[in-house]
Amino acid sequence: MTGRFEWVRPLVATCLSAVFFVPLYLVLANAFKPGDKISGSPASLPWPPTLDNIQAVLTRPDRLFWVSLTNSVLITSVSVVILTVLSAMLGHYLARSPSRWARVLTLVLLAGLMIPPQVILIPISDVLRAVHLMGTVPGLVLFNVGYYVPFGVFVFSGFIRTVPLELEDAAKVDGASPAAVFWRIVFPLLRPASASVLIFLGVWIWNDFIDPLIILGPGRGTTITTGVYRAVGQYQSDFGSVFALMLLATLPVLAFYLALQRHFVKGLTGGATKG
């Protein structure tokens, strides 16, 4: 489909992505600008660049950044590891089980993909309060596991259907237990699906706002995302710190994305079914 006007394509594409990129540029540039320049000329180049904002965020006396970073890393990594293991096993069970009620169970789980958190947050806060987990990291992790298990099962069970049964059968004939078959034979084959689940759930849980806001509550419990939200409320005038905090909150997830970019796109688009 190369026509006479093919040379226009890169031109238009470049212009469009430049316009599209403006808000991202704004975060980058303003994190390195002194406060008065942010309100005065927000779109100007950060020249000469200053590290004052970043330093101010990193050395805050209440250690907001470090506390919320630790919380976010802990919550995200623990949730994602548990989710990968649980949903791989559950997905395998459902994809391989011949019974009708396994199919019903699959449907019930998939319905969970569309349930808005608002529908369940009120009762969940009651449940967590009853078991004294409201306002704690384990409480939020438990909620994450329950809420995101449908997505994990969805990815894994779809992928497992493309893994040949013969491998499992051969191991079973050799006398391996179901658990051994799963961990030694099946799970290593599921690596692309595991990558998708890790990546997507990692980004979602890192960026999650409403659930940590309500479950961790207004006390000292804060994640990096709710921390950014709070910083805006506290420092109406000091936008230098807000932009620096936003940049610092985004860097880990951006690095994660750039490192795993290939898998990201695959996971989004049926890489899961192609292997």
Nearer to another protein by Cβ, of 61 and 270: the residue is 270
- Quick check: 167 and 188 in contact, CB under 8 A? no
Angle at 219 between CA 216 and CA 223, to 5 degrees: 50
- Quick check: 195 and 120 in contact, CB under 8 A? no
Angle at 111 between CA 110 and CA 114, to 5 degrees: 105
- Quick check: 57 and 245 in contact, CB under 8 A? yes
Nearer to another protein by Cβ, of 61 and 89: the residue is 89
Q: Cα-Cα-Cα-Cα dihedral of 115, 133, 209, 61, to 10°?
A: 180
CB of 246 to another protein, least distance (A): 5
CB of 80 to another protein, least distance (A): 14
Nearer to another protein by Cβ, of 51 and 254: the residue is 254
End-to-end Cα distance, the chain: 30
CB of 258 to another protein, least distance (A): 8
Nearer to another protein by Cβ, of 61 and 166: the residue is 166
CB of 175 to another protein, least distance (A): 14
Nearer to another protein by Cβ, of 61 and 123: the residue is 123
CB of 165 to another protein, least distance (A): 5
